[in-house]
Amino acid sequence: MMGSQSRYFMPNADMTLGNRYELLECLGDGSYGWVWRATNLQDDKVVAVKIPKQMGRSDAELAEGSALVGRPSHPNVIEIYWMGRVPPQREWYVLEMEYFASSTLARLLDVGEQGLVLRYDKVLDYFSQVLEGVKHLHRFGIAHRDIKPQNILVSGERLKLTDFGSSFMPEDLYTRTRENGGTVLYSAPEVVGVSTKLKDEGAYFRADIYSLGVLLYHLVTSRLPHDTLSQVARHQPFPKPSELNNTVSPQLENLIMKCLAASPENRWDSVEELAQTFRTVRQTQKAFGELHRLTPYAKADIDWSADAIKSLETEDYRRVGQIARQEYERSKDKHAFLMMVKALIKEGRYFDCIDFFKGHPEILKQADFLGRELRRQSLTVYLKARHISEAAQVLKICLKEDPDAPDLLLKKASILGLQARYKEASEILLGLNRQYPNRPAILKRLSLVFEQLRDEGKAAAFRRAFEKYG
């Protein structure tokens, strides 16, 4: 259980965390946590530690990039050394990472000439390093899912990818999303605003390729293809790179536009294939011309989704819901309906959600990925509101679409438990535990189910496992 120390935790210089770290300097303070330069007291090594702000979450929820721990290091990926609760108290959760004295690519792009001179040799070298970092992740089956300048560190001529809070591996039960404008504008249309785990796990790797295309487009044009979530979701037409910068070669433009294809099947098949083609394109671009000095793009199209994203970043979910509802009533934009539902869920207004679902039954029947996402959200809402029969009906539809989805099977076990069908629930949970061992969400439910089955031995065993891994 989280103690009072971690509940009211606020890091400061010279503070020690347990017997493991001394904090030296705050490097960043974001909505998800702090990053500090610190000394590891066990070996006196200077490291970076990321300290989440929501310490009450389970270790599994706080972990970021755990699949990288113990993997071979790569020069273009920040190395993760360790993560867990700091001994001896084991209250504070930290991620210990390589310390890389640097600035973000986003900051260098913002300050223009003072921070970064955008010649093609530098632009293409930077992009090449990002490609190599993403290749390294994909080689181990890890999709980054949040490639953008804010997550690229630069020191001299070296770049490193960081921030694995949205990364995904096929064995993950759930996906994690980041609710901020920068992430949205670098996202692929098929995943923007979607938190449901996609049926095609390869889709996340193709979404990374789209984000790489946005990054390269930004580097050679000083602007993004789209300015708002709504434009990204619709894949609104945007200027080709050569229309904004006539020194972009046809080969480089074709490479970027293939990354940015609306349909994932029309993008590069893999980052490996993209990198191989890029090596040739890089040489032809050098012969084609130098990069013009570009003025940063200041005029952005603002629509309802831009206003909503600003409110999301300040966690003003009431305002988000109002903006999205007005837009849906005006245009019937399904992304607006989805954002309205998510805002209501954040506020715990489940019965308002149910009223909207009942008032717009057609939206839950959509066959596209947005309809699928809305069905999953409605399932969550019905469970939260304890509308079990409605939840069971929606779950039946969801399981037809994705019969092996672990998060759906977990919800099915929960519904069976609420219906006092404990034996059936235990069979599903035991199967999940074999496939995904030691996951706290599964262990907790197993403990509860075996309590109801009066099997105290198994209940106690799963309770101990939950306390260990939760």
pLDDT digits (tens, 9 = 90+) for 308-343: 888 887 889 999 999 999 999 999 998 899 999 999
Write out pLDDT tens, residues 370-402: 888 899 999 999 999 999 999 999 999 999 998
Whether the model clears a pTM of 0.85, i.e. scores above it, the answer is: no
Write out pLDDT tens, residues 125-140: 999 999 999 999 999 8
Buried b (16+ CB within 10 A) or exposed e, 138-162: beeebbbbbbbbbbbbbeeeebbbb
pLDDT at residue 296 greater than cutoff 50: yes
Mean pLDDT within 283-305: 73
CATH superfamily of 4-98: Phosphorylase Kinase; domain 1 (3.30.200.20)
Taking the alpha carbons of 172, 178, 179, 184 in that order, is the dihedral positive or negative? Answer: negative
pLDDT at residue 287 greater than cutoff 90: no
pLDDT at residue 462 greater than cutoff 70: yes
pLDDT at 175: 46
pLDDT at 440: 87
pLDDT at 4: 45
pLDDT at 232: 92
Pick the more confident residue, 63 or 156: 156
Write out pLDDT tens, residues 97-111: 999 999 999 888 876
Q: For residue 167, what pLDDT band results from cuts at 50, 70 and 90? A: low
Mean pLDDT within 47-72: 85
pLDDT at 391: 96
Write out pLDDT tens, residues 1-35: 444 445 556 788 888 999 999 999 999 887 678 99
Write out pLDDT tens, residues 255-282: 999 999 999 999 999 999 999 999 999 9
State the distance between the two ends of the chain, measured CA to CA, in whole angstroms. 10
Closest by CA position to 114, among listed 291, 296, 259, 250: 296
Say how far apart CA 262 and CA 166 lie, in whole Å.
22
CATH class of the domain whose range is 103-288: mainly alpha
Q: For residue 173, what pLDDT band results from cuts at 50, 70 and 90? A: very low
Q: Is 77 exposed, middle or buried (0-12, 13-18, 19+ CB in 10 A)?
A: buried
Q: For residue 172, what pLDDT band results from cuts at 50, 70 and 90? A: very low
Residue 382: what are its φ and ψ, rounded to 5°?
-65, -40
pLDDT at 468: 83
Neighbour count for residue 125 (Cβ, 10 Å): 13
On whether the CB atoms of residues 399 and 423 are closer than 8 A, the answer is no
Pick the more confident residue, 116 or 52: 52
CATH class of the domain whose range is 404-470: mainly alpha
Mean pLDDT, the chain, rounded, equals 87
Distance from chain centroid for Cα 127: 21
